[in-house]
Every structure is written in C-alpha cells, then in structure tokens.
Amino acid sequence: MVIKSGTIQFKENPSIASTGVVVGPMEKKSTFAESFDVILPLENEKGQTYEQANTHFIEKACKESLRKGHEKLENVDVFIGGDLVNQLSPTNFAARQLAIPFLGVFSACASSVESVILGSLLLESGNATSVLAGASSHHPSVERQFRYPLEYGTQRAGTSQWTVTAAGFALLQKHAKNAPIITHATIGRVIDGGQKNPLFMGAAMAPAARDTIERHLANTNSRMADFDVIMTGDLGKIGLSILKEMFQDENSGVILQDAGAQFYGEDKFFKAGASGAGCSAAVFFSHVFNQLKSGVYKRVLLVATGALLSPLTFQQGETIPCIAHAIECRMEKRG
C-alpha cells in the first residue's frame, strides 16, 4: 500500500528468512569479517576471468542463503539482483546457472535494496512465495570498468573509496515469526548535488541519502530517534560526516551510520572507506541481519546509496546523479 509518493507499507510484512554473504580476500580485514558466511582466499581462481569470478561469488552467496534457509532452489519463484559490470553480465550469467525466473536491476550501489523492495512487492501482492534478492560487486572487474587498470600507478586521494569484493543475497519469504520483517520501503528519487569528482562519491551521494531518509521519516510519521540505527550503504567516512552535518538532528551523531565508513575500520589504506553494491549488501545481510535476528536491533532503516555515473558521462563533463533506496526492517518480540 502506498502511503505517500514513493513510500510503501507492506501489510503482509514479508520476512528475511536467511541471508548469504560471500566476500573476497581483502574483506578479511573488515570489521564485519566475523559475520560474513564465506571468505574466499582469492579474487579469482586460476583460469577464471574477473567477471567469471564475480559470477561465482553471486552463485555462492545465493546457495549459501538457501542452505541457511533450508530451502531448495526449485522452490524459489524469482531471483532479483544487480551488479556494477556492464549489462549486469555477472548477475545474468549467475542467473543462467541458477535457472530460475530472473529480474536484473541496476541502480549502481543501491541495487541491493532495490532488489529487496521489488522482491517484497512480489511477496506482498501474492505473486511469489520465495524470492532471492541482493547485489554484488567485485573489486577488479569494477575498477577496470569505472577507473584505471588495476596495476596502473595512480595516487588514490583521501576522498576515494575501495570497491569491495562481495556478494550478498537474502531469501525473502512470506511473513514468518522469529525472522526480521520488512515493514516499509521508500523508493529513491534521482538527486544531483552538482558534484563532478568520480573519486569523491560520498559528497555526490549524501544529498540523495538525505532526501530518501527525510521522505521516509515524514511519510511514516517517525523521527530519527525511533530507530536503533539508520544505516546508509557506502557514503564512506567523509560522506557520512557530510550527511550528519546536513541533518543537524541531535540524534544523527549516533543513529546515522554508514556501512562503507565502518567496513574496513580505521585502516588508512582504504582511505574514506568501502563502496560498491556488495558493500551495502554484505553488511545489511550479515551484521545488521544478525543484530535484528538476535533482537539487539528492533527497528532499522537501511538506505543503499548509488552513484549513477558512467565513465562516459563523467568524461563528457556531466555531474553525478545519485539515488538512495530505503527499506525499514523490524524484529517482532519473540513468543
């Protein structure tokens, strides 16, 4: 049911039955490393191209999610996912292996939450009973597409972020007790803050995150303090500070968090933090999911942020339009 433009209330409260998160070797350094299901020792196995490796990560995350949810692949009605490589090849190729009905989505790093929103809508309308939704990113495949060759010697600026190698997928099912539920979603608007620097995504994406969070709070009649945490996807350390300053809410200091800013802790090598569609997917579907399931968090807002640029548009001097999609998850009291 639409409450107000863009904000949806899920009366049926679809639940996140289980999740699967598979990450690469660099992500072993993550502060969330203990929550990830599988940490693979190599970015790509011998004889595998980076793109094939990305596909492999997606398949593995989906299977992990099904294994944990005790569900068979043939019982899944729809598979929804996205990544950052041209034409979504890795996700398309993973869908070829999984061989279940498939919807590919792209909203850059916001694809993770966009998939979950679409999946929840299918469940809500009764057109599906089981949906696999999520997103992935793979450092080497994404870098070569958006930036420079991997071994090219360029100085990474303090504002730059590190694209994570991670795939995170969730098994969404009809309402169930003892599982986190999805109560609301807010579909993002494309917001352009006039930023042009592709190595400073935090500043470009912060206005989109602010717009979505603000609309969600207004449309659901809630305040920031009603949430245990409002977590954005990959604004990074600097982007998060910008977002906090934009809000000027006394609660924004504690409640507003960012998956990308926390991902690699204080390790200076990663500069402003992590980014990528896999960043939000990995953190939301591991750490946040676990915290919800164990009852530490009772109500959270997950806001995946995406910068909708391409190497072409930025070379043509265009600014970076951005989008942020949000889902509100809750954990009901046990018993």
Partner 1 sequence: MDQKQFEKIVDNQTPKTPLFMNMLKAFLVGGIICTIGQLITFFYIRFFPFTEKTAGNPTVATLVFIAMILTGTGLYKKIAQIGGAGSAVPVTGFGNAVISASLEHKTEGYVLGVGGNMFKLAGSVIVFGVLSAFIVALIKTILVKMGVVSW
Q: Do the beta carbons of residue 112 and residue 168 sit within 8 Å?
A: yes
| Terminal CA-CA length for the chain | 28
Q: Is 207 an interacting residue with respect to partner 1 (CB under 8 A)?
A: yes
Q: Does 156 contact partner 1 by CB under 8 A?
A: yes
* Max CA pair span of the chain: 58
Q: Is 9 in the site for partner 1 (CB under 8 A)?
A: no
As measured in angstroms, the least distance from the Cβ of 21 to partner 1 is 27
Site string for partner 1, 26-65 (x = CB under 8 A): -----------------------xx---------------
We find the least distance from the C-beta atom of residue 242 to partner 1, in angstroms, to be 5
Q: Which of residues 223-242 bind partner 1 (CB under 8 A)?
A: 238, 241-242
By the rule CB under 8 A, 149 interacts with partner 1: yes
- 155, with CB counted inside 10 A (0-12, 13-18, 19+), is exposed
Residue linked to tokens 């660099």: 26
Contact assessment for residue 216 and residue 328, using Cβ atoms and an 8 Å cutoff: yes
Query: Is residue 200 part of the contact set for partner 1 (CB under 8 A)?
Result: yes
The whole-angstrom separation of Cα 236 and Cα 83 is 19
Pairing assessment for the beta strands 38-39 and 15-23 based on DSSP bridges: parallel
Using CB under 8 A as the binding rule, whether residue 266 contacts partner 1 is answered as no
| Contact status, residue 77 vs residue 101, Cβ threshold 8 Å | yes
Helix (H) or strand (E) holding 202, with range, is helix 201-219
* By CB under 8 A, residue 158 contacts partner 1: yes
51, 90 contact by CB (below 8 A): yes
> How many residues belong to the site for partner 1 (CB under 8 A)?
27
- Please identify, using beta-carbon distances, which residue of 119 and 273 lies nearer to partner 1: 273
Q: Binding segment for partner 1 among 99-107, 125-133, 195-203, 314-322 (CB under 8 A)?
A: 195-203
Interface with partner 1 includes 152 (CB under 8 A)? yes
Binding site for partner 1 (CB under 8 A): 49-50, 144, 148-159, 193-195, 200, 203, 207, 210, 238, 241-242, 245-246
